[in-house]
Amino acid sequence: MSCHVKLIRLAVCLNLLLASRSFAGPPYLTDDPDPTDYQHFETYFFTTGDYRSGNNYALIGPAAELDYGAFPDTQLTVAIGMTSVGGDGMEPASGFGDVALSVKYRFRHETNGWPELAFFPGLTLPTGDANRGLGNGRATYHLPLWAQKSFGAWTLDAGGGVFLNSVAGERDYPYGGILLQRDLGKHLSLGGEMFAQGQDADGDHGFAALNFGGSYHFNDHFSVQATAGHSVIGDEHTLWYFGLYWTW
């Protein structure tokens, strides 16, 4: 495989990482439908990575995500970060990556008979250098729907959508996940998810991954979050995330 093709694959991988993490519910890839509270902020400082077969890797970090409850049931999100890529036969590269923008709108609150539901469309701007594998080269779009139902200390999130990418050699693809979390007291929550996506580029096959992790809440305003996982079907991916969360 030529270095140019490898760079394209890493750019796709990096775009997947940024878009998935920015439009998901940190530290997981599966999102929740809860928007940031009205006139409140949430901030994540994080690093995340994806190692693939052949020692190819894509990393984002240091990176930051800012969420704002601009209206009732409506969250605005922007995510930026430094990126790094490398692998067999390629010169490692680092620099500023793509920028992700999104809006989460919750149109149904949870009741005894209905789950909470939200639409979370997003746009990733091609601000990273695609020639060095640091970005996608064109804007991409996410169109997901997410749902949540609570059962005492347990919370179930599920949903998915479609990822739209017009770069030559890359593909639009569906994606989705299901996440189960449990609160273990006031400070600790643990969870596991199955996340899957379709073929994202010519020659790839899509994948499904198991991912596990949790959050430790020091207080109502600060948490430490982490997850790690590996693909179980399709293309090989080793995924991880570590972040710090503040709200005010």
What is the per-residue pLDDT across 71-91, written as a single tens digit (0 to 9) for each? 999 999 999 999 998 887 778
Identify the structural domains of the chain with CATH numbers, from first to last: 3-247 (2.40.128.130)
Helix (H) / strand (E) containing 9: helix 3-22
Tokens matching residue 59: 């990393």
Of 196, 184, 182, give the one whose Cα is nearest residue 233. Answer: 196
Residue 186 CB contacts under 8 Å (≥ 6 apart), including other chains: 217
3-state secondary structure of 186: coil
Q: Which residue has the tokens 């991916």?
A: 237
Other CB atoms within 10 Å distance of the CB of residue 230: 15
CB of 218 within 8 A of CB of 225?
Answer: no
pTM over 0.85: yes
3-state secondary structure of 227: strand
In the predicted model, what is the mean pLDDT of residues 95-114?
A: 94
Between CA 110 and CA 148 the distance in angstroms is 8
pLDDT in tens, 39-58: 999 999 999 999 887 678 88
pLDDT of 84: 92
**152 DSSP assignment:** T
pLDDT above 90 as % of the chain: 71
Between CA 28 and CA 14 the distance in angstroms is 16
Report whether pLDDT(15) > 90: no
Q: Please measure the distance between the N-terminal and C-terminal CA atoms of the chain and give it in whole angstroms.
A: 48
Worst-scoring range by mean pLDDT, 24-28, 44-48, 143-147, 212-216? 24-28
Backbone angles phi, psi at 55, to 5 degrees: 65, 20
Between CA 98 and CA 78 the distance in angstroms is 11
CA dihedral 120, 166, 62, 122 (to 10 degrees): -10
Report whether pLDDT(21) > 70: no
pLDDT above 70 as % of the chain: 90
pLDDT of 133: 83
